[in-house]
Structure 1
Amino acid sequence: MLNSPSANIYNISKLNSEIKRLLEGNFGRVWVNAEISNFVAASSGHWYFTLKDARSQIKCAMFKGRNRAVKFRPKNGQQVMVKANISVYEPRGDYQLLVDVMDMAGDGLLQQQFEQLKCDLAAQGLFSSEHKKPLPSGIKKIGIITSATGAAVHDVLTVLKRRNPLVDVVIYPSQVQGDTAAQELSNAIVQANNRNEVDVLLLTRGGGSMEDLWCFNDQYLAHTIFNSPLPIISAVGHEVDVTISDFVADYRAPTPSAAAEILSVSNEEQKQQCTMLSRQLHHAITNNIHAQRQQLHELASRLKAQDPKFKLAQQAQYIDELSHQIITTMSAKLHNNEQRLAQLMQRLLQQSPQAKISAHAAHNQQLATRLKHAIAQQLTTQQARYQGLMRELHSVSPIATLARGYSITLDENKQVVTQASELSIGDTLVTKLHQGEVTSKVTLISE
């Protein structure tokens, strides 16, 4: 079967190259949120580390041309958000990430989610200027979608009362912060369109952190704004705050008060109209630039596999590994030289007078040992002689006689009985054996 002309046989280099081509050709840049471990800053300026979560890990490299833009020093255990390309390091067949951007997780994660949603909705055409509805002229009734008790509605009503007290206002109350806010805002837009009682809608709230304004970055809310037949002005937060609803809405005002200024038509209507058209043009240019940038990123990803800089970066990584091997080899050679020096020192010490002194000391120690042995042997001989005398003494001992099967009989007065004539029938006798005693009564006497 191996000899079949249809068999697809790879060598390792070709297989790794093919895997590299497939991975890099099918994946663009990815955002990854993970924990850093095994961080190493090489002498070349490149960074090598591992990104991991509770169940998996992947090796990463960030070359010095990229890591110079990182505003903090990474360390093990730190949670980060990285933007990277998936690649294969062919010499070892390692699957790895080549990191271009690194931020600390937290606000950075929200920002990346914002950018990702912004790209997705832009690709769907939700920001396109051709879908923007113009604000109606001669506005008589304004619908305000916001919190009924917030500062934004107070600011809007104050400006409207000052500039155009004849305009009517309908408030569609909704939460503007929290988990349910996006759904409530969407429901309010749908309700206002179903009731069809106003000329324009103002979607607004006061300033806050990115987390506070996050409900205005909801994808479902974005589609609801896009599909609204009524024109919508988005005025969320302060002038520096930008949300997805600002991009999708037909018009964006920097603040709630500014939105009220726009909606309350005065003698400066022409000036405001020009401002609005300018902003729409700005949005159109921004969206077009964003679309072109997305296309450029796609083309760059496709070109990446043939980029000489990318291959040079891999060669730099390979050089870093060779440098490590050289350092290891030199360390081993230095260790061997140290061992050889120790051996020479040992030979030198063997020729030193100290060695002879030590030999004589050892001889003296041997003599002392032999003396101790002789004394111990003499003690052993004397102990053996003592034990022999003890055995002779023991052999004539009454106890030894009892041990050979003899016994001693005593009468009631504890006197030794040697003749039967000393006894009478009925006497009580105590017979001592080698082990224990026997008590008996005399019933018959024979002489």
Structure 2
Amino acid sequence: MLAAMPPPATTPAPPGDASVRARGDACPGTLRLHRADDGSLARIRVPGGVLTADQADVLRELAVRLGDGELHLTSRGNVQLRGLGQECGAELVSRMSESGLLPSERHERVRNVVASPLSGLDGRGERDIRPWLSALDALLCASDAAAGLSGRFLFALDDGRGDVDALGADVTLRALSDGDAILRIGAEESVVRIPGAGAPQAALIAAETFLEASPASGAWRVTDLPAGAESLLDEVARRLGPAGTRTVAPVGPQGSTAPAPGMVTGPRDVVALSVGLPLGRIGAGQWQTLTDIARHRGDGELRLTPWRGVVVPGTGREQAAELLDSLGAAGLIVGPRSPWTGVGACIGRPGCAKSLADVRAEAAAALGPVGALPVYWSGCERRCGHPQGEWIDVVATPDGHQVALVRDGRRDAPVSIDDSPPALAAAVSAARGALD
């Protein structure tokens, strides 16, 4: 039995502290649309990125009938519909509810859960985390307190391979080889070791404890807490009682690594298909091709990844090459040598009023040899949707662009490039370290 403990004492943040939020959380959802220059935007939470083929059909239908005809994947494995009209809200909510994509209106923006997308498919990892995923989502939707989480708060469920553990979530569960799990708060090296069976409940307790600690500071995420994540972890460990043991995270594989595009080999001659989406967006026809493969050649499921890709589980080995060829012909990334591999961008102009450039068109014009490092193009200093880890940062400025290497959370001194497309493409290719 998990012990209930009083909330920790908190120290109000000083006036002007960056962690104090002076306005409400405006993160978009299905019920709260965001007005952009290209129309309204809906962000649909897809916990763990898992969609049934029927749910995928609903999203395609809504994108075509109500939006711009494309589906846009986010860095959390969620889906955005853009170009929506002002009067579409009621129909959008109705279709989401009917399809099971909106199990709780009160919790629709807080169901931010990323999960190892290849869990249970390739024989790696320490456990299949899908039971954790369904259990955590049900616990979140049943918790009155959890409805108070911000739309930015993030859970990560890592099967032990270290992929989503590296994404900087607020609460991370990572499977261990002995059946236990570690619970991490923020980026802390200290963790709580817990029985694997109780991991989803422990994650919810961590989130509810954060909510009790955050009112005085106005924090939306763990990194906003004035006292930091360590004191929060101490309190979570106390609440878990005998079920939790404070320790240091065991050394293991760690890296924000996307599934490589192509065939993912699994046991019993069953494979999965991993594809990337150029700039994270996909047209209705391409989406239909993926959905048809999932329904008729796979397990009836699509898994959206935090790296703006899609995994289709359950295809046979003999047909996999043919299916990959069809997806490549449809314009998707199906192999590591695609020039689109590792290239990302924010929406840019004309969709965003704050953007200083059409960075998606610029990224397409600057495609070159596959780079050793990913590159992300941002239309302004906000860098919406940028990746984690080591990457090349390209930011539009009033005078052109800045190109810089980001590593360990720090940005090296940038190189300024004027509005010469050839010079910009050359600078980006050099920074990425083109492979032979």
Scaled to the shorter chain, the TM-score interval is under 0.3
Question: Which structure exhibits the higher relative contact order, with contacts defined as CA atoms closer than 8 Å and separated by 6 or more residues?
Answer: 2
Is the helix fraction higher in 1 or 2?
1
Q: Which is richer in strand? A: 2
Greater C-alpha radius of gyration = 1
Q: TM-score, normalised by structure 2?
A: 0.21
